[in-house]
Amino acid sequence: RLANAVTPLWRFPYQEQLQVKYESQRKILQTLTSRLEELGIDAQKPGGLCCPLQPVVPSPVINGYRNKSTFSVNRGPDGNPKTVGLYVGTGRERNIVCVKANPVKNIPSKHKQVAQCYEEFICRSPLDSCILFHEGGHWRELVVRTTSCGHTMAIITFHPQQLGQEALATQKALLKEFFTSGPGAVCALTSLYFQESTMTRCSHEQSPYQLLHGAPHIFEELLGLKFRISPDAFFQVNTAGAEVLYQAVGGLCQATGDSVLLDICCGTGTIGLSLAHRVSKVIGVEVVEKAIEDAEWNAAFNGISNCEFHSGKAEAVLPQLLASWEDARPLVAVVNPSRAGLHYRVVRAIRNCRAIRRLLYISCKPEGEAMRNFLELCCPPDPRKKLAGEPFAPVLAIPFDMFPHTVHCELVLLFTR
């Protein structure tokens, strides 16, 4: 049941998985084509779609490709309230159980090992797991991040409830001892972090990540560059797949030596830095402050001097940046937002900046909020919405399988005007 819930295509041969994904991406493009027609745009091209759809680009790694996994703590099928794993069931049906991740193909064995050790630790602890915040308990989720350099970072979330600083210090010391000289030492952690959180999700700014052991960062190598990764920095979950994706993005940008590359939602700077040698300048924008610190470190460490990074919400930073844009150099934009898509003010700033003639939209959920963005990019000018700029048109769609065994796909849509 867990394998079916987390990796629903795991029983299919890989070529069949790619075909399933191609058909789902085709349906998404059909929806986009219909929606564009509703806006009065003659969108249908030969083949009935608004732009050609290429075959799904396969992932170089099919099993154990995830470099980041999040494990929950809850009741297992045997009733153990300190089971560390992934959820099966739904809240609506009240049949949620937490199942160990052993059968899941896309999670590497190192992640499963750390999860098993964390479970062993909390089972020894007199403190309860925190299943419902208002019912008390402390031990919460575990995030494991690994890199191809052999680094492993573990981040443990803990609900402090009414514990004082002394009691918290005791728990942190016990955790560190377990993972450095106790049974958890087999995990050979590069970094062990601890976060006190009274919310479902907490940023570093809301509640700092506390380093209990090891190095503050782990490092990854991608396209010949070295990248520093903080606990909450975004990094594509499939490193080998990301290399294929970024190489393709570089080709699709058609950026030349005099171009400026605008990297929106840049994370630790992976896309911009990997393409910096092709362009005259890279400008990155990212909301997570720690990720921007990583991006700046990554640029300096790799000897890349033509990049500048801006920390803040894209909807606050970008309109200011583009409103005063007077640079004569060609401007190419790459956007790689979360599932929530781009804020309307970001789309409007892109539309109203005449210098942007070419835009690459990388979406991990094109059927979701990204669809709204596609329509905003392509719709006729609308003075009421302050959309004065010439509309974009989709010219090519390429799906990338970044998530084998799941139904998800990364879709790259190229827009020009």
User: What positions carry a catalytic annotation?
Assistant: 364
Distance CA 356, CA 264 (A): 13
Biggest distance spanned by C-alpha atoms of the chain: 69
**Is 236 marked within a binding site?**
yes
The answer to whether 152 and 190 are in contact (CB under 8 A) is yes
Q: Give, to the nearest 10 degrees, the angle between helix 369-378 and helix 344-351.
A: 30
Single-letter residue type at 291: A
**Is 298 marked within a binding site?**
no
284, β-bridge pairs: 263, 309
**Is 336 marked within a binding site?**
yes
CB atoms within 10 A of CB 176: 18
Distance CA 202, CA 204 (A): 7
User: Binding site residues, as ranges?
Assistant: 236, 286, 336
The binding site for S-adenosyl-L-methionine comprises 236, 286, 336
